[in-house]
Protein backbone atom coordinates (compact mmCIF):
# COMPACT_ATOMS: atom_id res chain seq x y z
CA UNK A 1 0.00 0.00 0.00
CA UNK A 2 1.52 3.37 -0.97
CA UNK A 3 2.45 5.36 2.10
CA UNK A 4 0.40 8.35 0.86
CA UNK A 5 -2.88 6.47 1.05
CA UNK A 6 -2.50 6.10 4.80
CA UNK A 7 -3.10 9.77 5.35
CA UNK A 8 -5.78 11.26 3.13
CA UNK A 9 -5.07 14.82 4.27
CA UNK A 10 -1.42 14.55 3.28
CA UNK A 11 -2.36 12.70 0.10
CA UNK A 12 -4.47 15.61 -1.15
CA UNK A 13 -1.51 17.95 -0.97
CA UNK A 14 0.78 15.35 -2.52
CA UNK A 15 -1.39 14.26 -5.40
CA UNK A 16 -0.31 16.74 -8.05
CA UNK A 17 3.42 16.23 -8.31
CA UNK A 18 5.90 13.54 -7.49
CA UNK A 19 8.42 16.25 -6.66
CA UNK A 20 6.29 17.49 -3.75
CA UNK A 21 5.80 13.91 -2.70
CA UNK A 22 9.53 13.32 -2.53
CA UNK A 23 10.15 16.57 -0.69
CA UNK A 24 7.89 15.33 2.12
CA UNK A 25 9.04 11.71 2.04
CA UNK A 26 12.50 11.21 0.48
CA UNK A 27 11.93 7.44 0.29
CA UNK A 28 8.73 7.87 -1.78
CA UNK A 29 8.73 5.56 -4.79
CA UNK A 30 7.73 6.77 -8.23
CA UNK A 31 5.93 3.46 -8.86
CA UNK A 32 3.79 3.97 -5.74
CA UNK A 33 2.98 7.48 -6.91
CA UNK A 34 1.71 5.99 -10.20
CA UNK A 35 -0.68 3.71 -8.30
CA UNK A 36 -1.84 6.67 -6.25
CA UNK A 37 -2.44 8.72 -9.39
CA UNK A 38 -4.53 5.91 -10.88
CA UNK A 39 -7.06 6.53 -8.09
CA UNK A 40 -10.00 4.13 -7.83
CA UNK A 41 -9.08 2.42 -11.13
CA UNK A 42 -6.33 0.50 -9.34
CA UNK A 43 -8.64 -1.24 -6.87
CA UNK A 44 -11.32 -1.67 -9.56
CA UNK A 45 -8.77 -3.64 -11.62
CA UNK A 46 -7.04 -5.67 -8.90
CA UNK A 47 -10.28 -6.49 -7.04
CA UNK A 48 -12.49 -7.13 -10.05
CA UNK A 49 -15.16 -9.81 -9.63
CA UNK A 50 -13.68 -11.71 -12.56
CA UNK A 51 -10.35 -12.14 -10.73
CA UNK A 52 -12.11 -13.44 -7.62
CA UNK A 53 -14.14 -15.93 -9.67
CA UNK A 54 -10.86 -17.38 -11.01
CA UNK A 55 -9.74 -18.26 -7.47
CA UNK A 56 -13.15 -19.28 -6.15
CA UNK A 57 -13.63 -21.75 -9.00
CA UNK A 58 -16.98 -20.06 -9.73
CA UNK A 59 -15.96 -18.90 -13.19
CA UNK A 60 -18.63 -19.64 -15.84
CA UNK A 61 -16.91 -21.45 -18.76
CA UNK A 62 -18.36 -19.09 -21.44
CA UNK A 63 -16.88 -16.05 -19.64
CA UNK A 64 -13.47 -17.72 -19.41
CA UNK A 65 -13.59 -18.69 -23.09
CA UNK A 66 -14.34 -15.05 -23.99
CA UNK A 67 -11.47 -13.97 -21.74
CA UNK A 68 -8.93 -16.41 -23.18
CA UNK A 69 -9.79 -15.56 -26.78
CA UNK A 70 -9.40 -11.82 -26.11
CA UNK A 71 -6.32 -12.29 -23.95
CA UNK A 72 -4.62 -14.38 -26.60
CA UNK A 73 -4.85 -11.49 -29.06
CA UNK A 74 -3.72 -9.10 -26.31
CA UNK A 75 -0.65 -11.22 -25.49
CA UNK A 76 0.36 -11.17 -29.15
CA UNK A 77 0.40 -7.36 -29.09
CA UNK A 78 2.12 -7.38 -25.72
CA UNK A 79 4.92 -9.42 -27.28
CA UNK A 80 5.33 -6.71 -29.95
CA UNK A 81 5.33 -4.07 -27.20
CA UNK A 82 8.18 -5.88 -25.48
CA UNK A 83 10.11 -5.81 -28.75
CA UNK A 84 9.87 -1.99 -28.76
CA UNK A 85 10.90 -1.82 -25.11
CA UNK A 86 13.92 -4.09 -25.66
CA UNK A 87 14.98 -1.70 -28.43
CA UNK A 88 14.56 1.38 -26.21
CA UNK A 89 15.93 0.00 -22.92
CA UNK A 90 19.02 1.97 -21.86
CA UNK A 91 21.18 -0.86 -20.50
CA UNK A 92 22.09 -4.47 -21.31
CA UNK A 93 20.65 -5.55 -17.95
CA UNK A 94 17.27 -4.02 -18.82
CA UNK A 95 17.32 -5.52 -22.31
CA UNK A 96 18.12 -8.92 -20.77
CA UNK A 97 15.24 -8.74 -18.26
CA UNK A 98 12.71 -7.66 -20.88
CA UNK A 99 13.82 -10.17 -23.49
CA UNK A 100 13.73 -13.03 -20.96
CA UNK A 101 10.11 -12.07 -20.24
CA UNK A 102 9.40 -11.93 -23.97
CA UNK A 103 10.81 -15.46 -24.33
CA UNK A 104 8.48 -16.68 -21.56
CA UNK A 105 5.49 -15.02 -23.16
CA UNK A 106 6.08 -16.67 -26.50
CA UNK A 107 6.78 -20.16 -25.09
CA UNK A 108 5.24 -21.37 -21.79
CA UNK A 109 2.44 -18.87 -21.87
CA UNK A 110 1.51 -19.80 -25.43
CA UNK A 111 1.43 -23.45 -24.39
CA UNK A 112 -1.00 -22.62 -21.55
CA UNK A 113 -3.40 -20.97 -23.99
CA UNK A 114 -3.28 -23.87 -26.44
CA UNK A 115 -3.98 -26.49 -23.73
CA UNK A 116 -6.78 -24.38 -22.23
CA UNK A 117 -8.44 -23.83 -25.60
CA UNK A 118 -8.32 -27.58 -26.21
CA UNK A 119 -9.90 -28.33 -22.79
CA UNK A 120 -12.63 -25.76 -23.40
CA UNK A 121 -13.31 -27.07 -26.93
CA UNK A 122 -12.30 -23.86 -28.67
CA UNK A 123 -11.17 -24.79 -32.19
CA UNK A 124 -7.79 -23.53 -33.38
CA UNK A 125 -9.34 -21.58 -36.24
CA UNK A 126 -11.50 -19.66 -33.74
CA UNK A 127 -8.66 -18.36 -31.58
CA UNK A 128 -6.21 -17.90 -34.42
CA UNK A 129 -8.58 -15.79 -36.50
CA UNK A 130 -10.56 -14.06 -33.71
CA UNK A 131 -11.03 -10.34 -34.34
CA UNK A 132 -10.17 -8.18 -31.36
CA UNK A 133 -13.10 -6.74 -29.46
CA UNK A 134 -13.24 -2.94 -29.06
CA UNK A 135 -11.66 -2.90 -25.59
CA UNK A 136 -8.75 -5.12 -26.59
CA UNK A 137 -8.22 -2.91 -29.65
CA UNK A 138 -7.97 0.15 -27.41
CA UNK A 139 -5.58 -1.77 -25.15
CA UNK A 140 -3.35 -2.74 -28.03
CA UNK A 141 -3.42 0.81 -29.39
CA UNK A 142 -2.30 2.22 -26.06
CA UNK A 143 0.44 -0.38 -25.62
CA UNK A 144 1.80 -0.17 -29.15
CA UNK A 145 1.57 3.62 -29.41
CA UNK A 146 3.15 4.34 -26.04
CA UNK A 147 6.00 1.86 -26.48
CA UNK A 148 6.49 2.37 -30.24
CA UNK A 149 5.98 6.12 -30.69
CA UNK A 150 6.35 7.18 -27.06
CA UNK A 151 9.31 7.09 -24.71
CA UNK A 152 10.78 4.12 -22.83
CA UNK A 153 9.19 5.53 -19.66
CA UNK A 154 5.70 5.65 -21.19
CA UNK A 155 5.90 2.11 -22.57
CA UNK A 156 7.36 0.83 -19.30
CA UNK A 157 4.48 2.39 -17.33
CA UNK A 158 1.96 0.46 -19.47
CA UNK A 159 3.82 -2.81 -19.01
CA UNK A 160 4.25 -2.22 -15.27
CA UNK A 161 0.54 -1.60 -14.84
CA UNK A 162 -0.50 -4.72 -16.76
CA UNK A 163 1.88 -6.97 -14.84
CA UNK A 164 1.44 -5.45 -11.41
CA UNK A 165 -2.36 -5.71 -11.59
CA UNK A 166 -1.99 -9.44 -12.35
CA UNK A 167 0.59 -10.02 -9.61
CA UNK A 168 -1.70 -8.30 -7.08
CA UNK A 169 -4.79 -10.41 -7.73
CA UNK A 170 -2.66 -13.51 -8.37
CA UNK A 171 -1.00 -13.37 -4.92
CA UNK A 172 -4.37 -12.82 -3.27
CA UNK A 173 -6.12 -15.69 -5.07
CA UNK A 174 -3.15 -18.01 -4.48
CA UNK A 175 -4.02 -17.99 -0.78
CA UNK A 176 -7.21 -19.96 -1.55
CA UNK A 177 -7.23 -23.69 -2.34
CA UNK A 178 -6.78 -24.16 -6.10
CA UNK A 179 -9.93 -24.63 -8.19
CA UNK A 180 -10.34 -27.99 -9.92
CA UNK A 181 -10.13 -26.74 -13.51
CA UNK A 182 -6.44 -26.77 -14.48
CA UNK A 183 -6.82 -23.67 -16.64
CA UNK A 184 -7.93 -21.66 -13.59
CA UNK A 185 -5.42 -23.23 -11.19
CA UNK A 186 -2.50 -22.71 -13.59
CA UNK A 187 -3.53 -19.13 -14.37
CA UNK A 188 -3.26 -18.35 -10.65
CA UNK A 189 0.07 -20.17 -10.29
CA UNK A 190 1.50 -18.37 -13.30
CA UNK A 191 0.86 -15.02 -11.61
CA UNK A 192 1.88 -16.00 -8.08
CA UNK A 193 5.25 -17.68 -8.69
CA UNK A 194 8.44 -16.05 -7.27
CA UNK A 195 9.85 -15.54 -10.79
CA UNK A 196 6.89 -13.37 -11.76
CA UNK A 197 7.00 -11.49 -8.45
CA UNK A 198 10.66 -10.78 -8.99
CA UNK A 199 10.00 -9.57 -12.55
CA UNK A 200 7.36 -7.12 -11.32
CA UNK A 201 9.77 -6.07 -8.53
CA UNK A 202 12.36 -5.32 -11.19
CA UNK A 203 9.82 -3.41 -13.33
CA UNK A 204 9.04 -1.23 -10.31
CA UNK A 205 12.73 -0.54 -9.63
CA UNK A 206 13.30 0.28 -13.30
CA UNK A 207 10.27 2.60 -13.32
CA UNK A 208 11.51 4.29 -10.11
CA UNK A 209 14.93 5.00 -11.63
CA UNK A 210 13.52 6.18 -14.96
CA UNK A 211 10.73 8.20 -13.30
CA UNK A 212 13.14 10.00 -10.96
CA UNK A 213 15.04 11.39 -13.94
CA UNK A 214 11.97 12.81 -15.73
CA UNK A 215 10.65 16.36 -15.86
CA UNK A 216 7.33 17.02 -14.13
CA UNK A 217 5.55 17.25 -17.51
CA UNK A 218 6.93 13.87 -18.55
CA UNK A 219 5.91 12.36 -15.21
CA UNK A 220 2.34 13.50 -15.81
CA UNK A 221 2.33 11.82 -19.24
CA UNK A 222 3.69 8.60 -17.71
CA UNK A 223 1.06 8.74 -14.95
CA UNK A 224 -1.65 9.14 -17.61
CA UNK A 225 -0.37 6.02 -19.44
CA UNK A 226 -0.46 4.04 -16.19
CA UNK A 227 -3.97 5.26 -15.33
CA UNK A 228 -5.35 4.65 -18.85
CA UNK A 229 -3.92 1.17 -18.77
CA UNK A 230 -5.51 0.53 -15.39
CA UNK A 231 -8.93 1.69 -16.65
CA UNK A 232 -8.59 -0.58 -19.67
CA UNK A 233 -7.81 -3.57 -17.43
CA UNK A 234 -11.17 -2.89 -15.73
CA UNK A 235 -12.98 -2.51 -19.08
CA UNK A 236 -11.37 -5.73 -20.30
CA UNK A 237 -12.62 -7.71 -17.29
CA UNK A 238 -16.06 -6.04 -17.54
CA UNK A 239 -16.42 -6.93 -21.22
CA UNK A 240 -15.65 -10.64 -20.82
CA UNK A 241 -17.51 -10.94 -17.53
CA UNK A 242 -20.69 -9.38 -18.86
CA UNK A 243 -20.32 -10.89 -22.32
CA UNK A 244 -20.80 -7.58 -24.10
C1 LIG B 1 -5.49 -7.90 -20.34
C2 LIG B 1 -4.30 -8.43 -19.63
N3 LIG B 1 -3.57 -7.59 -18.89
C4 LIG B 1 -2.49 -8.03 -18.27
C5 LIG B 1 -2.12 -9.35 -18.37
C6 LIG B 1 -0.95 -9.80 -17.60
N7 LIG B 1 0.04 -10.48 -18.32
C8 LIG B 1 0.25 -10.41 -19.63
S9 LIG B 1 1.54 -11.38 -20.08
C10 LIG B 1 1.85 -11.87 -18.56
C11 LIG B 1 3.02 -12.73 -18.28
C12 LIG B 1 2.82 -13.92 -17.52
O13 LIG B 1 1.51 -14.39 -17.54
C14 LIG B 1 0.96 -11.29 -17.70
C15 LIG B 1 0.96 -11.48 -16.26
C16 LIG B 1 -2.90 -10.20 -19.15
N17 LIG B 1 -2.63 -11.51 -19.33
N18 LIG B 1 -3.99 -9.71 -19.78
Please report, for residues 87, 152, 153, 219, the alpha-carbon distance to residue 84 in angstroms, rounded to integers and kept in the order given: 5, 9, 12, 20
Cα–Cα nearest to 37, from 168, 169, 226, 234: 226
Among the CATH numbers 1.20.910.10, 2.40.110.10, 3.30.310.10, 3.40.50.300, which is that of 30-242?
1.20.910.10
Please give the distance of CA 64 from its chain centroid, rounded to a whole number.
18
In this prediction, residue 244 carries a pLDDT of 52
Q: How many CA atoms lie within 13 A of 34 on its CB side?
A: 34
Distance separating alpha carbons of residues 188 and 173, to the nearest angstrom: 7
Q: What is the dihedral of CA 157, 77, 82, 97, to 10 degrees?
A: 90
- Give the chain's radius of gyration (CA, Å): 18
What residue segments make up the domains of the chain, in order of their start? 30-242
Residue nearest to atom 10 of ligand 1 (CA): 163
pLDDT score, position 98: 98
Q: Check pocket membership of 48 for ligand 1, CB cut-off 6 A.
A: no
Is residue 230 within 8 Å of residue 35, measured between CB atoms?
A: no
Pocket test for ligand 1, best of 45, 78, 103, 196 (most atoms within 8 A of CB): 78
* Residue of minimum CA distance from atom 4 in ligand 1: 162
pTM of this prediction?
0.91
Question: Which atom of ligand 1 lies closest to the CA of 70?
Answer: 1
Q: Which residues contact 227 (CB under 8 A, 6 or more apart)?
A: 37, 38, 39, 41
| pLDDT tens for each residue of the chain, 244 residues long | 444 444 444 444 445 788 888 888 778 899 999 999 999 999 999 999 999 999 998 999 999 999 999 999 999 899 999 999 999 999 999 999 999 999 998 887 888 999 999 999 999 999 999 989 999 999 999 999 999 999 999 999 999 999 999 999 999 999 999 999 999 999 999 999 999 999 999 999 999 999 999 999 999 999 999 999 999 999 999 999 998 5
Q: Where are the alpha helices (DSSP H) in the chain?
A: 8-14, 18-24, 30-38, 40-46, 49-56, 61-88, 92-105, 108-119, 124-129, 134-148, 152-173, 182-192, 194-212, 216-242
Q: Is 77 in the pocket of ligand 1 (CB under 6 A)?
A: no
Q: How far apart are CA 36 and CA 8, in angstroms?
A: 11
Could you tell me the distance, in angstroms and rounded to a whole number, from the CA of residue 26 to the centre of ligand 1? 32
Amino acid sequence: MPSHTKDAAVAVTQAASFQDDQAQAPSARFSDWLVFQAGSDWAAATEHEFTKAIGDGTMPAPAYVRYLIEDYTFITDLASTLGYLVAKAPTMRSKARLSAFLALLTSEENDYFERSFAALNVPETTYRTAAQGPVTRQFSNLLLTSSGKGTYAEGLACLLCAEWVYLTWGLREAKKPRPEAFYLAEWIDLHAVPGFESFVGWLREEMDVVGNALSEAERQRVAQCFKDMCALEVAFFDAVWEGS
